[in-house]
Amino acid sequence: MEVANSIIVWASLLTGSLFAVIGGIGVLRLPDVYTRLHGAGITDTMGAGLILFGLAVHEGFTLITVKLVLIFIFLIITSPASSNAVANAAHSSGLRPMLDSDLKNKASSNSGARS
């Protein structure tokens, strides 16, 4: 029981960390602000969710777990709200999203070298 518990804790903490770093890479790597929102979305859902889940399993059924759950609920409610606020503000300021066709044109003009 103890072993299974700590395996779950390990697995969720490490997977959550992995997803958080992947989301961070996405924020750095993706081409424009709208696509970067998706990278931030990964860290907010999967990263935060799995890390907090791991901590909750480590803690067991106590009042501290309730705080972890509350943090999770709060992140889950606010993350789409702030993502939508960023997207909406960018869109209404006239910033056009980089669409598929733009990407293809860019890739053909400078052989796809982008950081």
Partner 1 sequence: MFTATTIAILLTMSLAIARMCIGPTIYDRVLAVNMFGTKTVLLIAVLGYLIGRPDFLDIALVYALINFIGTIAVLKFLRYGGFGDTHEMDTQDVDDKSNLSDGGPQ
Partner 2 sequence: MIHAASLALALAAVWLLLSGHTDFLLLGLGAASVFGVVLIALRMDVVDHEGQPVHMGLRLIAYYPWLGWEIIKANWDVARQIIDPKLPISPTLTSIKSTQRTELGQVMFANSITLTPGTVSVRVLPGEILVHALSKNGADDLVTGRMDRRVSAIEGPEPDSDIGKEPG
Given the rule CB under 8 A, which residues bind partner 2?
A: 19, 22-23, 25-26, 29-32, 34-35, 37-39, 41-42, 45-46, 63, 66-67, 70, 76, 79-81, 83-84, 87-88, 91-92, 97-100, 103, 114
Residues 6+ apart with CB under 8 A from 105: none
78 in contact with partner 1 (CB under 8 A): yes
Residue 55 touches which member of partner 1, partner 2, none, C-beta under 5-8 Å by kind: partner 1
Q: Report the amino acid identity of residue 24.
A: G
- On the 0-12 / 13-18 / 19+ scale of CB atoms within 10 A, 67 is middle
85 in contact with partner 1 (CB under 8 A): yes
Closest separation in Å from C-beta 9 to partner 1:
7
Residue 28: name the closest of 9, 42, 49 by CA.
42
